[in-house]
Amino acid sequence: MKLITFLLFPIYVFAALHTIQLFVESQNEEIDGQNLIYLPETYPSYYLFIDNSTGPNSIYFYDDVKKNIYYDNKARYYLTLDDGEILQLAPSTPLKLDIDFETGVTSFNGSDKVFAKKDISDPNGFSKDKFAILIGDDINDGIPLEIIAKELET
């Protein structure tokens, strides 16, 4: 038993939780470089929107062993695609992703099909003024983008 514990020890030594912010990289100047924030929609979901604010709702955590992004609010809310194409945080099945911290590039299933779009008929109407983040093959009037992560000093 001691040998198994010893062999598994290095996995936990190198595992890390990273405090991050997410940004948009796009050819579209209106959204390029802006933050991704989460705002409450239908309970228990928080949709991601593009915004210039840097408040607490722009900070996430990344687990580099489990390969997921989340935030904690009494329950753990994972980055997920629960509603099909809307990128959101919810206490649900996490989206598995990798982050290259040297470049900030995030990669996940669908990371080459990420779009920003307004007026998505979200329950609280945030997308009337803000771009929501959608993932899919055919997002009409969507602006292509890449999600970039930046690790924050803790």
Banded model confidence at residue 140, pLDDT cuts 50, 70, 90: very high
Architecture of domain 16-151: Trefoil (2.80)
**pLDDT tens sequence across 32-84:** 999 999 999 999 999 999 999 999 999 999 999 999 999 987 889 999 997 67
**pLDDT tens sequence across 7-26:** 555 545 566 899 999 999 99
How many other C-beta atoms are found inside a 10 Å radius of the C-beta of residue 101?
13
Let me know the angle formed at the C-alpha of 57 by 116 and 67, rounded to the nearest 5 degrees: 75
- In the chain, what are the domain boundaries? 16-151
Report pLDDT for 74.
83
**pLDDT tens sequence across 96-132:** 999 999 999 999 999 999 999 999 999 999 999 999 9
Report pLDDT for 138.
81
Report pLDDT for 16.
87
Report pLDDT for 18.
97
pTM, two decimal places: 0.88
Helix H, strand E, coil C: the string for the chain is CHHHHHHHHHHHHHCCEEEEEEEEECCCCCCCCCEEEEEECCCCCEEEEEECCCCHHHCEEEECCCCEEEEEECEEEEEECCCCCECEEECCCCCCEEECCCCCEEEECCCCCEEEECCCCCCCCHHHCCCEEEECCCCCCCEECEEEEEECCC
